[in-house]
């Protein structure tokens, strides 16, 4: 079955959903001008050492994602992360921190929405950087309110994930391909919302099927420009050390843990409540740049 035929009937469902709900956009005016805080990086990578109530760990920042690197270093210099909690911890997935609202938060506080007041432009350098175990990536709002996939100004997560077999990766590759196709289709449907609803109200199935075939063909052609597949490096990493491959290409990965992964693993297995917040606070005590 071709992708075009597979999505024909799905189109009708998507069309109704798109008409029923409108998406929101992130206010881009909150973006910070990183030129003012950029640093002169040499050919090496800058490292940041964290000390937490579970122990220490060190991350190395990629020079290929300079906006995220420079912003991260600025926050560290400003002691922004001191006393911030790991507010979201999920086993075999990731640990997340960087919400300033978590400082001195009460046990029942809802966390995860705080930040420095700005977003960072996406620097998704995929497939060079992907979600292997130990990857450092920026958290963000979902695509429905953040179509440009801008990163949170301060919240980040470290991947723990799990190992996969090659068969599992093959199945996931198909699923991710379908998801990418779906996202393209969703975008193409938006300008035709009113027309689709009008055709449905008129029960004009001939015209509706014709439009669906045209849009699905466009989506298929667009997807064919950049089809999804795991690289050999990804397959090796995901079958040996593990990770979270379903996040690849969706979030900015801007560094990796180079020491103290056992601390991250200790945080990962901490008992949590229904909101995935550790029952006992796990805090960043300090963060410093290693020159």
Q: Which CATH number do you get for residue 78?
A: 2.40.100.10
Question: 79 with 131, same domain?
Answer: yes
Asked if residues 161 and 242 have their Cβ atoms less than 8 Å apart, the reply is yes
Domain that holds residue 278: 43-162+244-290
Helix (H), strand (E) counts: the chain: 8, 10
Question: 286 with 145, same domain?
Answer: yes
The percent of the chain in helix, strand and coil, each rounded to the nearest 5, is 40, 20, 40
Which pLDDT score, from 0 to 100, does residue 226 have? 85
Question: 87 with 138, same domain?
Answer: yes
Q: Which of 53, 87, 59, 52 is nearest to 73 (CA)?
A: 59
The secondary structure element, H or E, covering residue 57 is: strand 55-61
Domain count, the chain: 2
Query: Would 32 be classed as within a structural domain?
Result: no
Query: Would 38 be classed as within a structural domain?
Result: no
Query: Would 211 be classed as within a structural domain?
Result: yes
pLDDT tier at 180 (50, 70, 90 boundaries)?
Answer: confident
pLDDT digits (tens, 9 = 90+) for 44-56: 999 999 999 999 9
Per-residue pLDDT at 273 exceeds 80: yes
Query: Would 11 be classed as within a structural domain?
Result: yes
Asked if residues 218 and 5 have their Cβ atoms less than 8 Å apart, the reply is no
Query: Would 230 be classed as within a structural domain?
Result: no
Average pLDDT score over residue span 156-176 = 96
Average pLDDT score over residue span 109-134 = 97
Query: Would 103 be classed as within a structural domain?
Result: yes
Question: 150 with 53, same domain?
Answer: yes
pTM: 0.80
Question: 151 with 64, same domain?
Answer: yes
Question: 156 with 103, same domain?
Answer: yes
Q: Which of 60, 77, 61, 58 is nearest to 69 (CA)?
A: 61
Question: 267 with 141, same domain?
Answer: yes
Per-residue pLDDT at 8 exceeds 90: no
Question: 77 with 149, same domain?
Answer: yes
Average pLDDT, whole number, for the chain? 88
Query: Would 27 be classed as within a structural domain?
Result: no
Question: 47 with 106, same domain?
Answer: yes
Query: Would 234 be classed as within a structural domain?
Result: no
d(CA 150, CA 26): 9
Average pLDDT score over residue span 145-158 = 96
pLDDT tier at 41 (50, 70, 90 boundaries)?
Answer: very low
Question: 74 with 129, same domain?
Answer: yes
Per-residue pLDDT at 11 exceeds 60: no
Question: 208 with 103, same domain?
Answer: no
pLDDT digits (tens, 9 = 90+) for 205-249: 999 999 999 999 999 999 999 888 999 999 999 999 999 999 999
Question: 153 with 186, same domain?
Answer: no
Average pLDDT score over residue span 139-161 = 96
Is omega for the bond preceding 132 within 30 degrees of 0, making it cis? no
For 136, phi then psi, to 5°, come to -105, 120
Counting beta carbons within 10 angstroms of the beta carbon of residue 58, is it exposed (0 to 12), middle (13 to 18) or buried (19 or more)?
middle
């Amino acid at each position: 079955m071709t992708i075009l035929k597979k999505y024909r009937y799905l189109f009708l469902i998507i069309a109704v959903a798109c008409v029923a709900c409108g998406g929101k956009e992130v206010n881009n005016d909150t973006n910070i001008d990183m030129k003012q805080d950029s640093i002169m990086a040499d050919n090496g990578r800058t490292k940041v050492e964290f000390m937490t109530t579970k122990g220490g760990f060190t991350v190395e920042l990629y020079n290929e994602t300079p906006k995220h690197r420079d912003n991260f270093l600025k926050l560290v210099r400003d002691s922004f992360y001191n006393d911030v909690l790991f507010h979201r911890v999920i086993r075999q997935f990731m640990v997340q921190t960087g919400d300033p609202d978590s400082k001195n938060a009460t046990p029942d506080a809802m966390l995860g929405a705080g930040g420095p007041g700005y977003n960072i432009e996406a620097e998704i350098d995929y497939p060079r950087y992907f979600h292997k175990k130990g990857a450092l990536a920026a958290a963000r709002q979902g695509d429905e309110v953040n179509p440009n996939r801008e990163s949170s100004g301060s919240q980040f997560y470290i991947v723990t994930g799990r190992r996969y077999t090659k068969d599992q990766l093959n199945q996931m590759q198909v699923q991710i391909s379908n998801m990418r196709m779906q996202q393209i289709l969703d975008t193409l449907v938006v300008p035709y919302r009113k027309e689709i609803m009008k055709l449905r109200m008129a029960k004009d199935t001939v015209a509706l099927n014709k439009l669906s075939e045209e849009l699905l063909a466009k989506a298929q052609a667009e997807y064919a420009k950049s089809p999804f597949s795991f690289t050999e490096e990804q397959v090796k990493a995901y079958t040996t050390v593990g990770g979270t491959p379903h996040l690849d290409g969706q979030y900015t990965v801007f560094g990796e843990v180079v020491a103290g992964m056992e601390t991250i693993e200790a945080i990962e297995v901490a008992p949590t409540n229904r909101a995935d917040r550790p029952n006992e606070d796990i805090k960043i005590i300090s963060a410093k740049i290693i020159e």
